[in-house]
Amino acid sequence: MKKIYSLLFVCISAVTVAQSTFKVRVSDSFESLVGATAIVTGSDGATDKLVSDINGEFSTAIEIPFDVEIRFLGFETLTTTISKSGQIVIMKPSSTYLDDIVVTGQFNPQSARNSVYKVQTITSDRIASQNANSLHDILSNELNVKIDRDNATGRSEISLQGLRGQYVKVLIDGIPAVGKGGVRNDIDLAQFDVQSIERIEIVQGPMAVSYGSDALAGVINIITKKDIDAQLEVSVNIQTETAGSEYSFFDQGIHSPSINTSYKISDRWFTQLTGRYYRFGGWINEALINQPGEFDWHPKEQWFGGWLTRYETDRWELYYRLDILDERITNFGDLIVPANGGEPYKFDEQYNADRYFHQIQSLWRVSDFTTINSVFSYTDYERLSSNFRNFPLSGVEIPITSGNDTIYYRSFFSRNTINLISKKSGSFQVGVESTRETSGGSTLNDGDKHLTDLAIFASAELIFNDLKVRPGIRYSYNSLFESIPTASVNFAYKLGGNTNLRWSYGRGYRAPSIRELFHEFVDSNHNLIGNPDLKPEDSHNFTFNISHQLNSIPLSFQLLSFYNNINNGITILVPIGNEPTTYTNLTKMNTLGGNIQASYEQGRFTNSVGFSYVGRLQNLRDETGVPEYVFTPEIMSRASYRWSSINLSLSAFYKFNGSFRQYSLVEGEPRLASQESYHTLDLNLSKTFIKSIRIGIGARNILNVTTLNATGSTGGPHTAGSNIPVGFGRSYFLTINYQFKK
């Protein structure tokens, strides 16, 4: 028996010794290519098919020397000879233009170039190059996108194609985000954890057939991280940033540590745990200071947590994800010194927000041509403002029961689709969707408010050689309003190998939200009442897009134009005299515009420049129209250069935001409000050490924009005088990221 074991050991050792290895890496860098394929041909004609492991290594029993052909998506095919074991092979990125794989609005994941929609992707590399602290940092550099920041509440609100955030559907992994606040009913972009984002996909234009109400201007789909290329991965990120010239180790500036731990338990099980803390110490604009210690940007503290568990087989995938937000914003009052010599005190106010977001998603590949997707989510969101008397010397805080406000949303969402997929003749999708939302609180009329929305939708993607046609229709039931069918049709045509044309028509529908119907916010600073007589909105959108990739050089162009016509658009009506501010329907609201963008990518250098021009027209009432468009220009530039030999990259992000103008009714008459133009510029420098440590330094708002002059009135609830706050000055940051993989 010992002889048998000895012989077996010798055989195993001989096989092990006979194994030949070689590695594949990216040109001029230390990055290994995982999942590359190779065909090995020995001198005796024997062949072997290989796949590189997590270290970019191939292993074969064929004896050296041998020929090998290596392929990897996005890189030039390489044919070479391996003459020694352990040899390193360098692959060069392909100059051929390659698109990202996108999922938003698709029947199944596919190349962005082949999508009937124009899907814009913000990749994880782009997010890392910006060293972003929030979605505001990421999205504010995009064309046709405007971000408004509220220094009083800390909110970041988006506009797309000249339409406010209530017309933009914000999704998390394809599920509508819940937590509208403010008077405009926008989703607060500052309440998402950027460290958990894998990429962001943006589709401009109505997506009401696929995603229902609120998707008139487009959708922003935040896609979270769900996989790793190793068995175990731990990523620790520490970011610290000044607020203008203000900084201290804890109290002043921005401090944001985070950790992400991912583990592949087996081939089928995967789990992930994330956590992030964000603290902003507030900022005082010394140039506009009115009272000592008065913050222009209020201090903010946020805790983010996340947990993901996924199970998958060849045919089935199921995962559960939980995301938690705990936010606190503090508005410190002025110090009051009692005349009788008592202890000084302040009247402070806190805004507290909590959100628990549960989602379960499954994908069943019934066959090679049929898939069934199911999505279920439950969101519990609450925002509370509380007042208290603060005695700084003794540290005593006494709650004040009067003047506190609260609002909460509890939403259950489900979506189920059946997809029949054929790459030759076309695909078909049919689905059902339901939403049940309950809202309540002191800023709404008495009693809980309920909204139920049920929908059935269907669309097809038909292929006629180089032409794709995608018609779709959606029927829905709304418990508060009579809804209308929404329909769309999209065309995509390949004009030659490198030119794509897309044009579309879509009809959108938006029912008034619970907040717009039943808002009741009355105190010493506010007098805002909802309008239960509001009518639903409907819209018509026309979009045209052309993109072209040059053959000779890696330069691409795209041109986008759009037109939106919204009937019964809901807006805020500034009152006459002492009447309360309320919501009203406009007889007509139009936006039109377009942008042109060019992108160049050659080896170490990438650059993208663009220009957009967006106009708005509003009929404020039947007898007082505003027969002119007011336009806003934008110019954008993003550039980066990478020194591969030393793992160093430099990125610059610039945007010119033209003067923003719009009409509003003030005391019954149309008034043109104007906000001056401004420029933003950010610089980022990143270096990677020993493949696992990345250090980034840089500056935001280099041009030091803090406030903008404004004329007229937009009726905003927190507009103070003629100065509109937009930032807290030139800031500097340091980021340290450590990544461990096994």
8 A C-beta contact, residue 119 and residue 105? yes
8 A C-beta contact, residue 525 and residue 716? no
Q: Taking 80 as the threshold, does the pLDDT of residue 285 lie above it?
A: no
Amino acid identity of residue 216, one-letter, is: L
Q: Whole-prediction pTM value?
A: 0.83
Contacts of 64 (CB under 8 A, 6+ apart): 20, 82, 83, 84, 85
- For the stretch 376-407, pLDDT in tens is 999 999 998 888 888 888 878 888 877 778 88
8 A C-beta contact, residue 651 and residue 638? yes
Contacts of 435 (CB under 8 A, 6+ apart): 176, 212, 411, 412, 413, 451, 452, 453, 454
Amino acid identity of residue 595, one-letter, is: N
Picking from 59-63, 70-74, 246-250, 548-552, which range would have the lowest pLDDT averaged per residue? 70-74
Buried b (16+ CB within 10 A) or exposed e, 614-650: bbbbbbbbeeebbeebbbbebebbbebebeeeebebb
What pLDDT is recorded for position 518? 86
Terminal Cα-to-Cα distance of the chain (whole angstroms): 38
Position with higher pLDDT, 341 vs 63: 63
8 A C-beta contact, residue 410 and residue 379? yes
What pLDDT is recorded for position 26? 63
**Which span out of 116-125, 146-155, 716-725 was modeled with the highest average pLDDT?**
116-125
Quickly state the pLDDT bin for 448 (edges 50, 70, 90).
Answer: confident
Position with higher pLDDT, 334 vs 182: 334
Quickly state the pLDDT bin for 93 (edges 50, 70, 90).
Answer: low
What pLDDT is recorded for position 8? 41
8 A C-beta contact, residue 117 and residue 490? yes
Quickly state the pLDDT bin for 2 (edges 50, 70, 90).
Answer: very low
Task: Measure the CA–CA gap between 513 and 443, rounded to whole angstroms.
Answer: 14
**Which span out of 90-94, 521-525, 578-582 was modeled with the highest average pLDDT?**
578-582
**Which span out of 29-43, 101-115, 596-610 was modeled with the highest average pLDDT?**
596-610
Mean pLDDT over 625-647 rounds to 87
Picking from 26-35, 40-49, 121-130, 563-572, which range would have the lowest pLDDT averaged per residue? 26-35
Mean pLDDT for the chain overall? 85
8 A C-beta contact, residue 615 and residue 593? yes
What pLDDT is recorded for position 15? 39
Nearest to 108 by CA among 422, 319, 361, 359: 422
- For the stretch 174-226, pLDDT in tens is 999 887 655 455 788 889 999 999 999 999 888 889 998 788 888 999 999 98
What pLDDT is recorded for position 581? 81
- For the stretch 642-695, pLDDT in tens is 887 888 999 999 999 999 888 776 666 777 888 899 999 999 999 998 878 999
Picking from 396-405, 496-505, 523-532, which range would have the lowest pLDDT averaged per residue? 523-532
Position with higher pLDDT, 348 vs 572: 348
Between β-strands 269-280 and 723-725, what pairing exists: parallel, antiparallel or unpaired?
unpaired
8 A C-beta contact, residue 568 and residue 601? no
Q: Taking 90 as the threshold, does the pLDDT of residue 19 lie above it?
A: no
Mean pLDDT over 293-320 rounds to 91
Q: Taking 70 as the threshold, does the pLDDT of residue 42 lie above it?
A: yes
